[in-house]
Structure 1
Amino acid sequence: AFLQCELLARLMGYLFPKREPVVDDIASFNHLDRLWTENQWAFQNILDPFPAPRRYVFQAWIEERRRISRLQPTMDNLLDRTTEDKVERLLALNHLRTMWLQWRALDTRDDRSALSAEERLCKVMATLTKTEGTEDLFREGLTDLNK
C-alpha cells in the first residue's frame, strides 16, 4: 500500500506541479524509474491482467518524458550553438520522434475495444496507484504536459 502511495505522490507532483517548490523533472523520472525497477515484481502482480505490450506503456512514457526534459535546455540559445551541437540536438530530436512513433504504434487493444496509448497509460497509472476510476485526472495531467 505504501508503494502505491509513493507512486501516486510522485505522479501527481509531476502531472500537477505546484508553484513552490519547483519540481525537478529529471529527479522525478529517476525516482519513478527506480521505484518501478526496484518494485517491478509487485507492480507486475498488480498488472498481471495486462499483456506485456500494455505494461510497457508506463516504462515507455517515463523514458520519453525523461528525454524531453533533458532536451528542453538545449533548445535555448539556438544561435550560440556550434554545428556539432546543432547536429547532436537534431539527432536527439530524431530519436525522440522515433520514440513518439513507437509510442503511437503500441498495440493497446483489449477484448472490448482499442485504446490509445494515452488511455492505456491512464489505466495503468490508476491500476498501479490503486486509484481506479481516476483515469480522467491522469488524462488531464497528461494533456497539460503536452501543451
Structure 2
Amino acid sequence: MAADRATLANWAGHAAFHLRPLHERLLTVLRARSKLFADEMTVPVLDPSRGRTKTGEVWAYAADGTPWRLDPPASPMSMHPTAKPSGCAAILLGVLQVDGYNAHPKLAKRGEAELAFCWKHVRRNFYELAAAAPLRSRAKR
C-alpha cells in the first residue's frame, strides 16, 4: 500500500525543517571558499493562486578541494520559486565556474561574482564552427 500524497508531503516538510540548520551550515562553509561551481535547472512550481504551475529553479553548488588536500567536497542545492538570477546570488562571494546561462553575466556586472566559464560550453562553440565550415586540407607540394 502506497503512502498518501499528503502524508508524503508532511514527511518531506518535517524532514526539510529538521535538516535546515545543516543546509544553512553547509552553505555558510561554501561561502567561505574561494571558488564554486554552480548549475541551475528549471522546474515546475505549483502556483495555487493561478491554478497552474510557474517556472522555478533548482541551483546546485559544488566545491571539491580534495585533489589539492584543501577542503572536503560539498554539493548543496537550493530551490527558488522563480527563475531569476537572484537565486544564485544568495550564495556567491568569489569565483564561480558556470555554464553559459544568461543570468551569470548579470551577477558579475553587479559585482556579486567573478565568473570562470565552463570549458565544455566554450569548446562546443568551436566544434559547431568547425562542423559548419570544415578546414580545407592543404594541397601536397
- If each structure's strand is expressed as a fraction of its own residues, which one has the higher value? 2
TM range (shorter): under 0.3
Provide TM-score, normalisation by structure 1: 0.25
